[in-house]
Every structure is written in structure tokens, then in C-alpha cells.
Copies of this chain bind each other. A is one copy, B any other.
């Protein structure tokens, strides 16, 4: 992961969305403030770990009061760049691509889907939530001309590498990859790639289920 782009260690960054998720749950339950030790109970991280993590960003807690849940989440929103908007395309307009394009949390996170791309003539011209599906052959030009920031990859693994290379050539800044491949970003590239490992997760589940069954 391109954490060279970051001043803070990736392990801290990995925990921020977790804080964000719990804070959202807390806010949904109308709880106004929370201490690092309460956050510790929820997240399983130690209280000092949590204070340390948040100190990386200026530490917003107050002695004896703890953290104001809304303020802290807003701060984390900023830290996570959720106040930015990213022009985004989805490559692969099949069921996964369409599902990802409809994924509500995109809007909340500032990823604005501008178009989907596919090679399947049956899909081209269709729309997903009013976002058009365009021919893959036009993707590279589209990314250049529209200064697209992020490409989401939901194509089959045999096509994924080519798609990633094409997006990089077109000047993409970030990639959210759902294809079960490992793409090693060239050293000189500062494109950020984040992978969703559905298969790894599924195999892990399969392993524990097998253990579970074989114990019976």
C-alpha cells in the first residue's frame, strides 16, 4: 500500500475507519461523549493505544471528559479525507460493478461515480442509478479528459492487470480493486491501490468452518 504518501503509519490509518465506525454507532445511539477506555472496550484496542493514535492528529480528548463523539468523528472525517470529493469510475458493469456503483456509502465518503465501463455491448448504453455504462474502449480518453481520480475494478481477474495499467497510463490517482489479483505498483508510481479480498475472506471462513465441522 502506498503509505509513502502518508505521514502516519499504516497501522494507525487502518484503525481510523474502525474508530469512525464505532463513533457512528455511538452517535446513532445518541451518546454524546466517550472516554478512551470506553472506546477501548468497544474496539479491543488499549486506551493508551487509542489516545496515542488520536494524538497523531492533534488529540481531541479532554481530561476527565473524554471525547465528544460528534466532534471526534468530524475530525476523523477530515483526517480520512471525507470532506473531499473524488471523481470515480467503475470498470466492469456486471452485478458486482453495479452493486458497487449503487453502494450508498460512496456518496457519504465523497466518491462520486461519473460512469461505468464495460466491453459487453448488451450493457453499453444502460444506466445504473442514472450513471451511464460506456464502452471500455473509451475509458482511457474519458479518464484523461474528465480528470477522473479513482477507478474501481470489478472485471474478471484475467482482465484486471490490463485495466489497471490502462488506468495508470491515463493518470488515475487511486484504484479500489475487487479483482482477486496482486498488482505490484511500480516503484516510481504514486498511484494508490486498495484491494478488497473477497476470496481470501471466503477461504478463511471455509477454513474455520472445516475445523468446526471436523471437531464435531
Interface of A is mostly: helix
- The reply to whether the CB of A98 lies closer than 8 angstroms to some CB of chain B is yes
Q: Which of A135-178 contact B (CB under 8 A)?
A: 149-150, 173-174, 176
- Which one of A31-39, A63-71, A119-127, A193-201 is at the B interface? A193-201
- Which one of A16, A82, A201 has the highest number of Cβ atoms from chain B below 10 Å of its Cβ? A201
Number of interface residues of A (CB under 8 A): 65
Distance of A16 from chain B, by nearest CB (Å) = 7
- Binary interface profile of A, 33-76, with partner B (CB < 8 Å = 1, else 0)? 00000000010000000000000000000000000000000000
Bound complex: CA A195 to CA B199 (Å): 12
Q: Which residues of B contact A7 (CB under 8 A)?
A: 211
Q: Which partner residue on chain B sits nearest A190 by CB separation? A: B212
Q: Which partner residue on chain B sits nearest A195 by CB separation? A: B201
Q: Decide: B80 and A200 in contact? CB cutoff 8 A.
A: no
Bound complex: CA A191 to CA B151 (Å): 36
Distance of A161 from chain B, by nearest CB (Å) = 10
Q: Which residues of B contact A190 (CB under 8 A)?
A: 212
Q: Decide: A109 and B208 in contact? CB cutoff 8 A.
A: no
* Chain A residues near B (Cβ < 8 Å): 1-3, 5-7, 13-14, 16-18, 20-22, 25, 42, 79-82, 84, 86, 94-96, 98-99, 102-103, 105-106, 109-111, 149-150, 173-174, 176, 180-182, 190, 192, 194-213, 215
